[in-house]
Amino acid sequence: RIVERPAASRSLEGSDVWVAVEDREVTLRGIVQDEPTRERAVQIARRTRGVRSVVSELTTDPSLAERRRVQVRDENLAEQIARTLTEEVFPDARPEADWTYGWEVEGYSWEFDIEVDMGDVTLDGTVPSREDIDRAIAATRKVPGVRSVRSRLGFVDPLHRANWAGASRKVRFLQGISF
């Protein structure tokens, strides 16, 4: 609910907000166009049933609305995202065109797909660590033409990293959406 309500709000359109929920505490991170939009995001989160508290780490940037109007073909945007991620976040990985999903970023023992639909991006797969999830989302958000980022990224639990190739591997998934 906390992800769907803000994403459906027209008053937040053009904003770049990451919603994280842990133990019914909501943290809003990212950039919005102005102070009234920031207040609206916090208000929507607070009014969501089941939310105990809201922490706002939102900043404002009036140029955000104009930057989001950039139109880029989905195929080109997916490639640009893959190249940006391998240059800025995962220098040891390689970007690859994938006929099924568009583009993917592949490391030694992990990989994820990049799907783009009308500027809405989904990152789906695994990365080396929890911190890499945040870094991948932040770098993707900055690519011109990206309207939103949905994360279905997980990371290999460090205690089970040695079992990556085996059936007993444990992957922890964190989900969220940036809109």
Quote the CA–CA distance of 37 and 12 in Å, as a whole number. Answer: 6
Among candidates 10, 18, 9, 16, which has minimal Cα distance to 143?
A: 16
Q: How far is CA 90 from the centre of its chain?
A: 15
* pLDDT computed for residue 164 by the predictor: 40
User: Per-residue confidence of the chain (179 residues) as pLDDT tens digits?
Assistant: 666 655 556 666 667 777 888 888 889 888 888 888 888 888 888 888 888 999 999 988 887 666 556 677 888 999 999 999 999 999 999 999 977 668 999 998 899 999 998 788 999 999 998 899 999 999 998 898 888 888 889 887 655 544 443 333 344 445 554 54
Q: Which helix (H) or strand (E) holds 38?
A: helix 35-46
* pLDDT computed for residue 69 by the predictor: 61
pTM score above 0.75: no
HSE, CB side, 13 Å, CA atoms: give it for residue 41.
31
Structure token pair of residue 169: 């591997």
